[in-house]
Amino acid sequence: MDQKLTSSSVVNSKDVNGTAVYGIDGEKVGEIDHLIIEKNSGTVTFAVMTFGGFLGLGQDEYPIPWKKLSYDVSKDAFVTDISEEQLKGAPEAHPEWHSDREWEKRSFDYFSVPYYWM
């Protein structure tokens, strides 16, 4: 990753894709594959992350509420406090999860994140 993420308070979405994500223990847990953005407000709602071999789970994609990530300038990466247990117990994403408000509610409630639409 280059300095594109650290030089400004805004970022191009293509520069976020592929950015590493670390757990609070400092270990790399995966990377951001792509972002989900609410069309009307422009709010980033989810980061779809790949966890390649994350705690034995293999290379799978998981939508994580954007507010569960924080940017760490010193790492040039994002950090999350999501545990293995939380990830395993998260609401399972189905093919149409991104347009299913009830699934979004379950996910935001599960991760204790305020709804972006309120």
Return the CA Rg of the chain.
Answer: 14
Query: Which segment of 12-16, 51-55, 70-74, 91-95 scores lowest on mean pLDDT?
Result: 51-55
Q: pLDDT for 34-58, tens place per residue?
A: 999 999 888 999 999 887 655 545 5
pLDDT of res. 109: 97
pLDDT of res. 37: 92
* Rounded distance between C-alpha atoms, residue 84 and residue 24, angstroms: 12
* Burial (CB count <10 Å: 0-12, 13-18, 19+), residue 14: exposed
DSSP state of 5: G
Residue 59: band (very low, low, confident or very high) from pLDDT cuts 50, 70, 90 = low
Q: What is the pTM of this model?
A: 0.81
